[in-house]
Amino acid sequence: GNSVTQMEGPVTLSEEAFLTINCTYTATGYPSLFWYVQYPGEGLQLLLKATKADDKGSNKGFEATYRKETTSFHLEKGSVQVSDSAVYFCASDSNYQLIWGAGTKLIIKP
């Protein structure tokens, strides 16, 4: 069946460092891909999405490109801030539901 694998955390970085969180998927067909973020004590929020190959989703300085050849959707940000500390989830849609990665906790130290 479909699955999403993302890098294990926690990922700890200093402020202004470059961020990459890896995400790969397996799916039949061409799913849409998503990154959601969960801040402490809150529900998930859609961060960005891409619906077809080579699409780039971007929001709040974060970017991710839908790479069909490598079945990947890695999340990147050029300069992280303390306020980016959260858990990040990669997901793909499969028929009627989202298939979620396990989540990657990101800790940014000032």
Partner 1 sequence: KAGVTQTPRYLIKTRGQQVTLSCSPISGHRSVSWYQQTPGQGLQFLFEYFSETQRNKGNFPGRFSGRQFSNSRSEMNVSTLELGDSALYLCASSQLPGQKNSPLHFGNGTRLTVT
> Residue 11's Cα: distance from chain center in Å?
13
- Would you give the binding string for partner 1 spanning residues 7-36, x where CB under 8 A is met? -------------------------x-x-x
Query: Is residue 6 within 8 Å of residue 101, measured between CB atoms?
Result: yes
Question: Residue 43 or 110: which CB sits closer to partner 1?
Answer: 43
Q: How many residues of this chain interact with partner 1, rule: CB under 8 A?
A: 21
Query: Is residue 90 within 8 Å of residue 101, measured between CB atoms?
Result: yes
- Provide the minimum distance between the beta carbon of 102 and partner 1 in the complex, in angstroms, as a whole number: 5
Q: Is 41 in the site for partner 1 (CB under 8 A)?
A: yes
Residue in 23, 84, 89, 108 binding partner 1, rule: CB under 8 A: 89
Q: Is 102 in the site for partner 1 (CB under 8 A)?
A: yes
Q: Is 76 in the site for partner 1 (CB under 8 A)?
A: no
**Token pair of 41 as six digits:** 């004590």
| Site residues (vs partner 1, CB under 8 A) | 32, 34, 36, 41-46, 49, 51, 89, 93, 95-98, 100-103
